[in-house]
Amino acid sequence: MEISSLTRYARISPSKVYDIALLLRGKNVTDAMAMIDLMPRKGAFLISKTLHSAVANAENNHDLKRDKLFVKSAEVMEGPVFKRFKAKAKGMAGRIKKRTSHFRIVLTDENQKLNNPERT
């Protein structure tokens, strides 16, 4: 059974969160939660909230045990970009892009060898 959780419009660039999501794929949920709670990064905190939400969905809605869950996929997708301008020298304006992200974490209770094609 697959259980997912989605966080949308997080105010962080996808490139800052992608490497954190890459570490979670294929891990046991308890190991993933312990690993991500020790990372001192904003992206780790935001992914942690999504992971805790997915675990809560599995426990409360589907009566699954936390110890038997695995992270099947952790995706970071690009959200909308806010375009702003900042004053520069000689009366010019410089463009600033404030990027946002969407996170999706999918958990599964099947104890199978999960493929991770990016990390071979």
In a domain, 115, yes or no: no
| Residue at 118 is within a domain | no
Residue 75 belongs to a domain:
yes
pLDDT at 120: 44
Mean pLDDT of 91-107: 96
Task: Tell me, yes or no, whether 114 lies in a domain.
Answer: no
Give the pLDDT score at 1: 86
Decide if 61 is inside a domain: yes
Integer-rounded Cα Rg, in Å, for the chain is 17
Total of domains in the chain: 1
Specify the pLDDT at position 100: 97
Q: How far apart are CA 89 and CA 87, in angstroms?
A: 7
Q: What is the mean pLDDT of residues 14-26?
A: 94
Is the pLDDT at 118 greater than 70? The verdict is no
Residue 109 has pLDDT above 90, yes or no: no
What is the reported pTM? Answer: 0.84
For residues 91-108, give the mean pLDDT. 96
Residue 119: its pLDDT value, please?
A: 52
Mean pLDDT, residues 33-53? 95
What average pLDDT score do residues 104-115 get?
78
**CATH assignment of the domain containing 9:** 3.90.470.10
85 is in which domain, residue-wise?
A: 2-108
DSSP per residue, 20-85: HHHHHTT-BHHHHHHHHHT--SHHHHHHHHHHHHHHHHHHHHH---GGG-EEEEEEEEEEEEEEEE
Phi-psi region of 26 (alpha: psi -120 to 50; beta: other; left: phi over 0): left
Residue 46 maps to a domain: yes
